[in-house]
Amino acid sequence: MATNTFTAPPMSLRTALNVAVIGAGAAGLVAARELRREGHSVVVFERENRLGGTWVYDPKTESDPIGLDPSRTVAQSSLYASLRTNLPRETMGFRDYPFAASTRDPRRFPGHGEVLEYLNDFANEFGLTELVRLGTEVKRVGLEGGKWRVRSRCGEDFLDEIYDAAVVCNGHYSEPRIAEIPGIETWPGHQIHSRNYRTPEPFRGQVVVLIGSSSSAVDISRDIAGVAKEAHVASRSVTDGTIGKVPGYNNMWIHSMIERVCGDGTVVFQDGSAVCADVILHCTGYKYNFPFLDTNGAVTVDDNRVGPLYKHVFPPTLAPSLSFVGLLLKVIPFPLFELQSKWIAGVLSGRIALPSSDEMMANVEVFYRTLDESGIPKRYTHQLAEYQFEYSDWLASECGCPPSEEWRKQIYFATGKNRKVRPETYRDEWDDEHLVPRAYEDFAKYCS
Ligand code: FAD
């Protein structure tokens, strides 16, 4: 296994590479910072005209509301207008650039605009904007003579360039996953995916069935219940005790999963209940998608497993020149992006060693076998949840950084519990107030 016990070569002896970063969301921005800190030359490609990725609210929706048509017009982001973060801000920020309370929106769980401002501040603070080519979509990344040919398009112009390494940071919230529903071909209602939900107004007076139990499903169902005639939430993970009317609402119900839908508009649930609905809103998550990436089959997406990838970052046969930042699910994303980026930057410069390709492949195989034996479906390969700190501490040790701060772990777990106990109000009421000053004591090291 790789260790970090050797003495780092001085900057002058490190290899400085030309690196292409695809995407200027949180992952691409921090990757650019870490790569440049390590001495590499960096170009960040961003197809939109603003940096910030997911956090740029786009009131436009896509031409195909369910997101199945590959030629649909694509919106920049999946955010809805009312979105507030589902993690408290102390935990969310990069490790050395805290997301501390601001005068713009001082709430612990701020609105989406505040996160975008934070990312803009981050980009300005570290001079990253000059590295980003806005309005430039990467159309192809393919191997050529041991390097990567990157084909990009800006307006009508195409450009081919050669890079030593490519870091993929294109996000994974733009390709909707849709629930398979028996009878849907003849069901007369309207279907949309949460990616195209912005405000509740279009659902006024309607009967809406939402599928899912994620944070988005919880938020959107509450948003919609404020104006709709009825909101019905169908969830695979529902328990018998929670089926029925949602406390505090006279027009919202929880059901088990949809069993089938019928030509007269009826939606039948597995618990035997049925409603005649106008809309089915899929809050069913997303698929990984790398339409530009040509690895000759070295990296594939199989039932939402991107692989094989050593530690969710390096494909063993193409490491270290190809890497991925930000594939993880159910984590605190920004600090993990930061550590993955530090690792990539250090490996590319030769400061941090990787195991051999065979050793990495063996490690991946053991990991996949463990998931299999635990009955975890492939599609949850990148979902870390409570294991995220073990993972991030491993990355930190590879990079020679301190492990995750104790307060960050404790606040994360306290928030998870609070969300279960107070699903309606967890963003405004909590029991972990005593942990917040510990975070701010740490922040004092970084905030002037
Ligand atoms: P993105 O932000 O998606 O950025 C990817 C970028 O790549 C985009 O700008 C895109 O335009 C660009 N791109 C894609 N393809 C190409 C191409 N071919 N060429 C050039 N550019 C390309 N995280 C939290 O920490 N707290 C929260 O409360 C929270 N809430 C969320 C709520 C919702 C509804 C969603 C969808 C996500 C939420 N997240 C939250 C997770 C959030 O996605 C991450 O915080 C983070 O923003 C992901 O960053 P990213 O850089 O990986 O991806």
With a 6 Å cutoff on the Cβ, whether 110 touches ligand 1 is no
pLDDT (0 to 100) of residue 12: 64
Query: Could you identify the atom of ligand 1 that is nearest to the CA of residue 286?
Result: 36
CA distances from 326 to 120, 180, 210, 339 (A): 19, 27, 27, 10
The encoded tokens of residue 320 equal: 């270290």
Q: Output the CA 104–ligand 1 centroid distance in Å.
A: 22
Nearest Cα to Cα of residue 233 among 279, 176, 180: 279
Secondary structure of 30-52 in the HEC alphabet?
A: HHHHHHHHCCCEEEEECCCCCCC
pLDDT in tens, 429-446: 999 999 999 999 999 998
Average pLDDT, the chain: 94
What is the torsional sign of CA 109, 110, 112, 115?
A: negative
Number of neighbouring beta carbons within 10 Å of residue 176: 23
User: Cα(253)–Cα(246) distance, rounded to whole angstroms?
Assistant: 5
pLDDT in tens, 222-240: 999 999 999 999 998 777 6
In the chain, helix, strand, coil percent, each to 5? Answer: 30, 20, 50
User: Quick one: residue 16, left, alpha or beta (phi over 0 = left, psi -120 to 50 = alpha)?
Assistant: beta
Q: Output the CA 379–ligand 1 centroid distance in Å.
A: 19
Side-chain half-sphere CA neighbours of 321 within 13 A: 19
Query: Could you identify the atom of ligand 1 that is nearest to the CA of residue 337?
Result: 52
Query: Could you say which DSSP state residue 153 is in?
Result: E
pTM: 0.95
Cβ–Cβ < 8 Å for 213, 322: no
pLDDT (0 to 100) of residue 2: 37
To the nearest whole percent, how much of the chain has pLDDT over 70? Answer: 96
pLDDT (0 to 100) of residue 4: 39
CA distances from 136 to 41, 154, 211, 373 (A): 18, 5, 35, 43
pLDDT surpassing 90 at residue 418: yes
Element (H, E) at 102: none
With a 6 Å cutoff on the Cβ, whether 116 touches ligand 1 is no
3-class SS of residue 136: strand
